[in-house]
Structure 1
Amino acid sequence: MNNWKLICPLEDIPQLGSRIVRPATGGDIAIFRTSDDEVFAMHDKCPHKGGPLSQGIVHGKRVTCPLHGWNIGLDDGHAVAPDVGSCTKFQVKVEAGQVYLSV
């Protein structure tokens, strides 16, 4: 069973950008918005060297880490080959223009 928490209106997350959620425990979560208004959520930490993915460039369904250029799939949290590693993903949804995160 999921417990959905209201985060913000979709329009508060810039297209091709992100917003950070700071839960009490477990580390920051980045919520990304694509150019098609899809939203994805994962830990705000690149699997390579821990770079802040929320500061990366969103393109298609990927984000590029600002530290070393690793590409991470927003839909699965996996680094794009030849890089190896993954980020913890979280369920996120948009209903009536509002973004919700499963906690």
Structure 2
Amino acid sequence: MKNAIALALSLLCAVASANAQTQSPDPLQVRSWAAGCSGCHGTDGRAEPGMISLAGTNKDDLVKKMLDYKTGRVSATVMHQLAKGYSDAQIVAIAGYFAAQKK
């Protein structure tokens, strides 16, 4: 009986964890994460001349670049360190945010 209860609880935890990971983050939370990029990439990803704008950039390209920075496949002055501060799911959400912005 104890084994059945333990198994049921384990299954319940696994399902709850999977559901939490598949839910879309709150748009205001994503906007807050993206705001951390404004110092270099401008408000809503529209950078000043001389910096890289992120607004309207392809989502998949942004995700790939961020994951490349995060894993160290690409080095940079700052981005490889900043990328490590985000989960993969956060990176996907932030990339989606910038992709949806007008250039």
Q: Which has the higher helix share?
A: 2
Q: Normalising by the residue count of structure 2, what TM-score does the alignment of the two structures yield?
A: 0.26
More strand per residue: 1 or 2? 1
Structure showing greater radius of gyration is 2
- Report the TM-score, using the length of structure 1 for normalisation: 0.26
